[in-house]
Chain A
Amino acid sequence: MSARQPRLSRATLALLPVLLALIFTTLVLLVAGANPFEAYGNILAGAFESPRKLADVAVAAVPLLLCSAGGLITYAAGLWNIGIEGQMIAGALATTWLINALPLPSYGLLPLSVLAGLVGGALWGLLAGVLRTFGHVNEIFAGLGLNFVAAALTNYLIFGPWKPPDGATMSGTDPFPQAAWMPTLPNVRMSLITFVLALIAIGTVYVLLRGTHWGLRLKAIGLNAQAARRLGADTTSNMLLAFAVCGALAGLAGSLQATAVYRRLIPQISGGYGYLSLLVVLLSGSRAEWVPLVVFFFSVIQVGSPRLELRLQLDSSLGGVLQASVALFFLLIRGVRERLERKRE
């Protein structure tokens, strides 16, 4: 009996927030004067009605999986890495630069573009790490600041050095040469390569955090940096590495958004996936094995909610309300549960 109880409450912990978020969103819908069932039906239909839509769910899942995989690493080290968004942008910028600079055939260009994304993101992540470890700037502010810098840099490049010959617009640079396009499945936007890369990333992070000395050190540092250092886990180098690895994964996400989805550099290339991934990490309880499920759930909402605007004249940001309220209720329930457990002791 006593052995079963924690498992029951873990299921409650996972499902109750979803339920509460649905109730909350339903209330918002009612206030907005919409039929909630119609709205939810539209979200689901928008995500599942055709193979094309289903492929779009996979397209949305790729950057979210990659960013969440990175977020898991910095979160394990006790870092609130808000800068994932900027690291994504940096990856996209590095990839765009490489594609502009090297006119190669696709078998050479595609692997290099992936590499450029990894490196660009890693460097941008390291920057936040250096600010944190040597400049004593809290990683939240360092990350946030660097996000703005990355976004401004993108705009400058699109409206400056990289502007199309016939004038710059908010729709971004000219499309990349075809050699730089990640191949997609026929008739859909989904790319098998990027999807597999994302799955490999999350799987690798799972192994890193569970089975390696580095993962254990990060966990120790995240729990108690002072004691971890005394026990031989160097905090500075491990934190920097965590920032770099997280940045690399986010940079890869940005790079793939550019080469597989938009096929150009656009101003909002990160699309909010970096921020969203923080919610994914929180909602998964920072456990890699739960991340794919949460990512799937978020991607469905992401792909399905634009239909609210088309069919019900509701703002599609309602999907964001649903995603964020799930995370908030999750934190709330977890807090309440911890409180109850402490009382029981």
Chain B
Amino acid sequence: MLHPCSWGPGMKIELHDIKKHFGPVRANDGISLYVDSGTIHGLLGENGAGKTTLMKILAGYQPYDAGGILLNGRLMRFSSPAEAIQAGIGMLHQDPMDFPPLSVLDNFLLGRSKGLAQGRREGEKELGELCQRFGFALDPDVLANSLTVGERQQLELVRLLSLGVQVVILDEPTTGISAPQKKLLFDTLHKLAQEGLSVIFVSHKLDEVESLCSRVTVLRRGKVAGEAVAPLSSDHLVQMMFNQRLSPSTRADVSLGEVVLELQDAAVRTYRLSVEHMSLQVRSGEMIGLAGLEGSGQRLLMQACTGLERLAAGRLSIAGRDMTHEPYARFLEAGVAFVPAARLEEGLVSGLTLCEHAALMARTGDFFVHWKDAEAQAQKMIGDFNIIGRAETMVQELSGGNQQRAILALPHDDLRLLILEHPTRGLDLESTRWIWGKLLQRREQGTAILFTSTDLEELVEYSDRIVVFSGGVMSAPVDAGKITVEELGSMIGGRQQ
């Protein structure tokens, strides 16, 4: 064990009857929570249950309306994240909050109050030590925007540790990171807990909470629904989360139609990754799952199939028409839609309303916007996709789950090919099932669907065929009915080594 005393004694956290409302919504409605030092405490609940709000309050990002925070028995109130970090509480967000254009080392050094010049070399040394200690491989000189989500998370974690935090909050840390990165993260969290730090693990994924946490608090609609101590039973947790049991979904058999997408020995080459020899035939009504670790080439395939990335070799046709050299606009006209995972970066335009999004998507060719039609279209989206919001709501004001519904609602009904990047990432079980219901409906209407997922069960359950990507190599399609989760896992992992 290295530096056992570097963080001093552990910290006990008590949240007492925390209340926080946003307009009429009671995000936290009297939540009390006790986290002992040296433990990994799970905070479980579906989207909108109030987990993130509660943790943002604890980490100083948001003030609370009523209640109190006690650290080692002392009442605290933070007016900024910096104050919380000084008191020993650091939070890792769902989207790591780093500065992409700065180097890893610069990001690491951010937030220190010490001088500039003398800190650099020491900082580099400290970064190296921390990385070595947890088995992270972070190059201090590369730019943060070249890191994967998992690596950015590692960077943020060692940064917080170097600032001396004793409580680490992780908000949905496993979305978007690869399986080995996840294992490394979990090992790190165990190590931290052994050394007396408190870890709060926010998630809606039962299996992760079960395998990691010694104690779990379940939130439902802004209140504590119950607590459980290891060994945890998933039935019990599900019951607390939803107040009900979920039945497995059924999938109608769809007869496949004409060939919608055809790739012939296609290659995409970018600065960071190249994928060669991609051949694939997708027929109308077919559902193709793209499996693989993050950054193995799936995104390049998806971007190539929408015309957002040009082919360096090979041919691509949509519904029998050669589209190899066509721009993105032609793909849109041909009925291809791409739904990216980054909702507010690529998916939606912050600052525009749902109604304005509907108008933006309208392919009327008219000069003037027909606001009445756009409004009606927005209302239809809201109704069809159960979006909690109004036509004049700015998209950034929607919750994450509702943003995802809005993104999925935007493409037109008569699509030939729908390409989805992590369509259910970060969503709770209920929303996930609901969104799959919508996608299966589109499929029955004849839309071919390509999707990526890090959830192997989801891939096996919903795909007709699965293509596995590994380090820029695309496998031949596998029949999803003839493969188990374990086999798929070993295919992804096996090719990796």
Q: Do A and B bind each other?
A: yes
Interface residues of A (CB under 8 A from B): 211-217, 219-220, 223-224, 226-234, 345
Q: A220-B360, A229-B328, A231-B410 are in contact. Are A212 and B368 (CB under 8 A)?
A: yes
CA distance A97 to B62 in the complex (A): 62
- Closest 6 pairs between A and B when the two form their complex, measured CB to CB: A223-B351, A224-B349, A220-B349, A227-B349, A223-B349, A226-B346
What is the chain B residue whose CB lies nearest that of A210? B369
Q: How far is the CB of A235 from chain B (nearest CB, A)?
A: 10
A216-B347 in contact (CB<8A): no
Is B332 in contact with chain A by the CB < 8 A criterion?
A: yes
Q: Chain A contacts of B332 at CB under 8 A?
A: 232
Q: Is the CB of A224 within 8 A of B350?
A: yes
In the complex, 23 of the A-B residue pairs with CB atoms within 8 angstroms, ordered by the A residue number, are A211-B368, A211-B369, A212-B369, A213-B362, A213-B364, A213-B366, A213-B369, A214-B367, A216-B359, A217-B360, A219-B356, A223-B349, A223-B351, A223-B352, A224-B345, A226-B346, A227-B346, A229-B328, A230-B340, A231-B349, A231-B357, A232-B363, A345-B22
Give Cα A336 to B98, complex, Å. 24
Q: Which B43-67 residues have a C-beta within 8 angstroms of A? A: 62
Docked pose: A214 CA to B369 CA in angstroms: 9
**Is A227's CB under 8 angstroms from B348's CB?**
yes
User: Is B329 located at the chain interface by the 8 A CB criterion?
Assistant: yes
B444 to chain A, nearest CB (A): 26
Query: Is B338 at the interface (CB under 8 A from chain A)?
Result: yes
Contact between A220 and B352, CB atoms less than 8 A apart: yes
Q: How far is the CA of A217 from the CA of B329 in the complex (A)?
A: 14
Smallest CB–CB gap between A138 and chain B, Å? 14
Most buried by B among A217, A220, A227: A227
Chain B residues near A214 (CB-CB < 8 A)? 367
Report how far A110 CA is from B403 CA in the complex, Å.
54
- Whether, in the assembled complex, B361 has its beta carbon less than 8 Å from a beta carbon of chain A, the answer is yes
Question: Chain A contacts of B344 at CB under 8 A?
Answer: 224, 227
Please give 15 more A-B residue pairs, beta carbons under 8 A apart, in addition to A211-B369, A216-B359: A213-B364, A213-B366, A213-B367, A214-B367, A215-B369, A219-B351, A220-B360, A223-B352, A226-B346, A227-B348, A227-B349, A229-B328, A231-B357, A232-B361, A345-B62
- B350: chain A residues at CB < 8 Å are 223-224
Min Cβ gap B364→A in Å is 8
Interface of A is mostly: helix
> Is B346 a contact of A232 with CB atoms below 8 Å?
no
Q: Which of A216, A224, A230 has the most CB of B within 10 A?
A: A230
User: Is A226 a contact partner of B352 (Cβ separation < 8 A)?
Assistant: no
Whether B360 and A216, one on each chain, are in contact in the complex, defined by CB atoms closer than 8 angstroms, is: yes
Which single member of A213, A227, A234 contacts B359 (CB below 8 Å)? A213
* Residues on B with beta carbons closer than 8 Å to the beta carbon of A223: 349-352
List residues of B (343-398) whose CB comes within 8 Å of A's CBs: 344-352, 356-357, 359-364, 366-369, 371
Residue interface bits B16-30, CB-to-A below 8 A is 1, else 0: 000000100000000
A residues in contact with B360, CB < 8 Å = 213, 216-217, 220, 228, 231-233
**Once the chains are docked, how many angstroms separate the CA of A113 from the CA of B357?**
41
User: Which residues of B sit under 8 angstroms from A227, Cβ to Cβ?
Assistant: 344-349
Give Cα distance in the complex from A226 to B308, angstroms.
11
A63–B367 Cα gap in the complex (Å)? 28
* Contacting pair A230 B347 (CB below 8 A): yes
Residues on B with C-beta less than 8 A from A234 are 328-329
B349, A212: Cβ atoms closer than 8 Å: no
Q: Is the CB of B329 within 8 A of A230?
A: no
Interfacial chain A residues near B368, Cβ < 8 Å: 211-213
- Output the nearest chain A residue to B363 by Cβ-Cβ distance: A232
Chain A min CB distance to B359 (Å): 6
B367: nearest chain-A partner, CB-CB:
A212
B356 touches A216 (CB 8 A): yes
Cβ distance B81 to chain A, nearest Cβ, rounded Å: 13
Residues in B neighbouring A211, C-beta threshold 8 A: 368-369, 371
Q: Are A228 and B328 in contact (CB under 8 A)?
A: no
Q: For A232, list chain B residues within 8 Å (CB).
A: 329, 332, 360-361, 363
Residues of B within 8 A of A220 (CB): 349, 352, 356, 360
Q: Inside 8 A of A217's CB, which chain B residues have their CB?
A: 360
- Chain B residue nearest to A230 (CB atoms) is B346
Most buried by B among A216, A219, A229, A345: A216
A40 to chain B, nearest CB (A): 39
